[in-house]
Structure 1
């Protein structure tokens, strides 16, 4: 029964907006500023019904298998690659993320770094801190009239497109999906983008096929003196190859916010790029603004609470998308099952035998999973729940108002 799910575990300094939202909904909240490793998480997960993480925590099969009360996992970020979605699906655990709320913050940082790279601002600042006054226009450029190549034209890439065009840049983009261009931006092939862009910026997702997307061959194909930025995923760029092309002058500068291996906050950091003066390095802070984190905290916590309360799985990254308008006081059943014939008939027969009327229902499937939501005309009891759980191929049965 849903009323017993009252503990939320939040890791990695998730916004106070989310903490307060869970508390107002009646949850006991345990919040940590850092990630937990697998052993620590296994020890803490047993009484938890809602788990919130960001980009560091690995929610492994072992963690999920040690979580008998876990209903849903919220990734308070875009990426969900650290969450074992296969095991979560097999156990009927919903996974939600927020693909939108930090896109403006990332786009603004990229635009700012493009300007800083083209004006050599960080190098000039470093010299000033060393007591060197070196006023020069050599190598400094306006963004107006230059070509920006965006690899990955999703929420972040398209917002960046608007900002860059407003600054007078010509925008071209490459995306594996057919997407609508914003403003005067135009789609081009990957090769053409590399050859004509004065600045190339990556905004791709965490799919395995994006691993090592940029290496020696791609950097060689870029325009001489171009700038390169990556604020997407660390594993998509060969940093050794990037460093080599920065040292030879093939590329004039780079800005990197994500890395193949990222240490804990405050720990030591090593990279082939660390000592290069023409590289802006930031510790994965593209989406780390107070505004973005508050928006993410509000969005993901609301999705988790709504899923527990109504069963609404819209925007879940792993479960079938299922929605049934909820009326307060309704008696609601939620049934996650393997996607095989006969499940609904078995459920309907059980309800009919008990003279329970189905007032509304919704069903959707996704791969091997099926998800059905029922509103019925009277409260269910433990015997009914036991019968529904005993239906072959059932994964999870939950109830609201019963």
Structure 2
């Protein structure tokens, strides 16, 4: 498949893509729309702007990979509507960004840029540039994610007290770090150094404005190695003039490059050109990581580090990956057995799945249900969106009820004609099996072509079905049968080596012993 790399990418990543058999092209900016016309994947860093208009030129694009964490340069909503997965590498540059933050902190505290400039100018200013020790000072971290957490660990090693504001982080995570979670106003009012590690969005745009700065301690140090636009730069300039902020270290700006910014005129401002991830190690890591993720996704594996689909990291994937596959197959089974469009779907999870995020499994189930009914492409990205647009009501139930199986996924579908239920599990944690259709216990592999019948529990059923298949030269690979009671009704699931035509299905249904027959392809 064709993979377009529109920004510089470490050679390790390129080599991985090529080793997997993909064609890698690196077009100039003006050639990008043409290069995307037949591309399956696009890899960008921070320079390329992936707009809705650009995506219109990429009708076959399946995935956009961001070699880095931020996706500000990608129209994620437009990609989602088109069913294009967006993935990033959130942990690849963690150490690099963290170490830059610590370098900024030390440089501000000891006024290193000013001292260096003085010495280079011929001065020897041993007096007049009094520094500040970090030990015993309070560091306020806004955003206690991967990078913020690593900064906290290093600051604690320096003997600093650390507080953090993050409305989304679990308290247990902060407790393990020995970091105190506090309200934003308390952080602003009590911190000697404040560092930002939050994403840019509606909740954080100009979070540090004139009102926020007014709440800070006098002579505070401010660091931003996260995203431009979180700080009101005009308000920061005013605070630097007044001395309220003693120094600021900025790796990011609202407009980059920050041509004409008043902040560049202050000697107490350290400015770097958005190089938080620019280390040899980080570049190689994010390139390798995004290449591996792209290769795995194009190979058909569930997505990792997805931005617009339920995220599945490598550790979680080992646990729920087989359930994702099982869920999709159960969805395909349900929709092919149904007598009409499914209007309501209830998914019930039992067992170890309830210890994890089940959204990736639910998304796979929706993909299985929808892709058999629609001509438009359905994937892990747009399946929830399409389900909502079609009015499919989805309920998810986590049950602790004990069943015959340690782990069980049950799908209950409602159509205008009635109800239908299927259930599946994993044998030995990896082998998927269909174990129930409605109230009938069965044991069948959810793969290949299955002939599923509802019939009277009487002699002659298997003989009739076998005779019809034999007449057409169709071999039976496996068979399972479940019944409600002796002499009642039963369900027969027959695995066959090749599909049969609707005429053959009708011929099977022609027997008075057969109540219904369906061909299912998984």
- Among 2, 6, 14, the alignment partner of 1:7 is 2
CA distance in 2, matches of 1:203, 1:50: 29
- Among 246, 251, 258, the alignment partner of 1:252 is 246
Q: Looking at CA atoms only, which structure, 1 or 2, has the larger radius of gyration?
A: 2
User: TM-score normalized by structure 2?
Assistant: 0.62
Compare 191-200 and 308-317 and name the one that shifted more: 308-317
Q: 1:48 to 1:131 in 2, by over 3 A?
A: same
Is 1:65 aligned to 2:59, yes or no? no
Is 1:223 aligned to 2:217, yes or no? yes
Secondary structure class of the residue paired with 2:103: helix
Task: Output aligned runs, 1:53-92, within 5 Å.
Answer: 53-92=44-83
Q: Which string of whole-angstrom CA distances, capped at 9 and with x for unpartnered residues, describes residues 189-246 of structure 1?
A: 1111111111001000122221110111111111001100111110111111101111
CA distance in 2, matches of 1:262, 1:321: 30
Task: Output aligned runs, 1:261-280, within 5 Å.
Answer: 261-263=255-257, 269-280=259-270
CA distance in 2, matches of 1:344, 1:136: 79
CA distance in 2, matches of 1:273, 1:147: 25
Q: CA deviation at 1:312?
A: 1.2
Is 1:17 aligned to 2:12, yes or no? yes
Secondary structure class of the residue paired with 1:274: helix
Is 1:238 aligned to 2:242, yes or no? no
CA distance in 2, matches of 1:366, 1:78: 23
CA distance in 1, matches of 2:214, 2:246: 13
- Among 253, 270, 284, the alignment partner of 2:274 is 284
Q: CA deviation at 1:344?
A: 5.6
Kindly indicate whether structure 1 or structure 2 has the higher relative contact order, using CA contacts under 8 Å at least 6 residues apart.
1
- Among 132, 142, 151, the alignment partner of 2:142 is 151
Residue 377 (structure 2) aligns with: 395
Q: CA deviation at 1:94?
A: 1.2
Secondary structure class of the residue paired with 1:99: coil
CA distance in 2, matches of 1:87, 1:233: 22
Uncovered stretches (5+) of structure 2, i.e. residues with no partner: 340-358, 381-521
Q: 1:29 to 1:390 in 2, by over 3 A?
A: same
Residue 203 (structure 2) aligns with: 209
Residue 289 (structure 2) aligns with: 299
Residue 366 (structure 2) aligns with: 370
CA distance in 2, matches of 1:118, 1:20: 42
Is 1:168 aligned to 2:159, yes or no? yes
For the 8 Å contact 2:191–2:216, the answer to whether it is kept is yes
CA distance in 2, matches of 1:333, 1:43: 39
Q: CA deviation at 1:175?
A: 0.6
Q: 1:364 to 1:81 in 2, by over 3 A?
A: farther
CA distance in 1, matches of 2:327, 2:295: 15
For the 8 Å contact 2:79–2:86, the answer to whether it is kept is yes
For the 8 Å contact 2:87–2:304, the answer to whether it is kept is no
Q: Which string of whole-angstrom CA distances, capped at 9 and with x for unpartnered residues, describes residues 107-138 of structure 1?
A: 11111111111111111111122222211264
Q: 1:200 to 1:98 in 2, by over 3 A?
A: same
CA distance in 2, matches of 1:312, 1:128: 56
Secondary structure class of the residue paired with 1:295: helix
Residue 26 (structure 1) aligns with: 21
Secondary structure class of the residue paired with 1:23: helix
Q: Which string of whole-angstrom CA distances, capped at 9 and with x for unpartnered residues, describes residues 286-309 of structure 1?
A: 111111111111111111110111
Q: CA deviation at 1:347?
A: 5.0
User: TM-score normalized by structure 1?
Assistant: 0.79
Is 1:313 aligned to 2:303, yes or no? yes
For the 8 Å contact 2:16–2:291, the answer to whether it is kept is yes
CA distance in 2, matches of 1:103, 1:315: 15
Q: Which string of whole-angstrom CA distances, capped at 9 and with x for unpartnered residues, describes residues 48-80 of structure 1?
A: 111000112111112222212211110111011
CA distance in 2, matches of 1:43, 1:321: 31
Residue 123 (structure 2) aligns with: 132
Is 1:194 aligned to 2:176, yes or no? no
Count of residue pairs the alignment pairs up: 351
